[in-house]
């Protein structure tokens, strides 16, 4: 009988305690050791002292809008969290391609910051998360929730 080894590292905490900062630092350190890292983190978008929304940013720097203050949006928004309209299609375009393990046998770390309410408006994202955290998965994951 073989034993399945799961390697999921989940960070939790109140907003502003440093989950994203720690995730970015760990992924940079791991990547510098020659381990392939892919994934994304969520970053606040500010104008002066005012928060305008959130972007999803890949580890290689590609950026897309995740959510914006509804007063800044011209298009109708179906999904909302507080004052923010969630831009599902833009999030999916950036994040979903990263949620698959590369086809090579090289060590790999998948970074997901974050698995939260805004992201879970995306059905394909939910499906990918279920697959990543399933018993048949062989992913090594660093994620925030």
Per-residue pLDDT of 122-136, as tens digits, reads 999 999 999 999 887
Does the pLDDT at position 11 exceed 70?
Answer: yes
Domain residue ranges in the chain: 7-144
Cα 82 versus chain centre, distance:
20
What tens digit of pLDDT does each residue of 40-72 get?
999 999 999 999 999 999 999 999 999 999 999
Given pLDDT bands bounded at 50, 70 and 90, which one contains residue 12? very high
DSSP for 70-130, written as a single string:
GGG--S--S-EETTEEE-HHHHHHHHGGGSS--SS-S-EEEEE---STTGGG-HHHHHHHH
How far apart are alpha carbons 31 and 22 in whole angstroms?
Answer: 14
Residues 10-20: what's their mean pLDDT?
A: 93
| pLDDT for position 2 | 52
Q: 7-144 in CATH: which number?
A: 3.40.50.300
Q: What is the pTM of this model?
A: 0.88
The pLDDT of residue 1 is 46
């Amino acid at each position: 009988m073989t034993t399945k080894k799961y390697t999921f590292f989940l960070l939790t905490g109140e907003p502003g305690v440093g989950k994203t900062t720690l995730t970015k630092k760990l992924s940079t350190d791991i990547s510098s050791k020659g381990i392939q890292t892919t994934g994304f983190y969520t970053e606040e978008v500010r104008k002066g002292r005012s928060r305008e929304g959130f972007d999803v940013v890949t580890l290689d720097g590609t950026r897309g809008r995740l959510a914006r203050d509804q007063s800044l949006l011209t298009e109708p928004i179906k999904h909302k969290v507080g004052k923010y309209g969630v831009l599902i299609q833009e999030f999916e375009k950036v994040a979903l391609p990263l949620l698959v393990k590369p086809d090579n046998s090289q060590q790999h770390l998948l970074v997901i910051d974050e698995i939260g309410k805004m992201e879970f408006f995306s059905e394909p994202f939910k499906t990918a998360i279920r697959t990543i955290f399933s018993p048949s998965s062989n992913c090594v994951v660093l994620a925030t929730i």
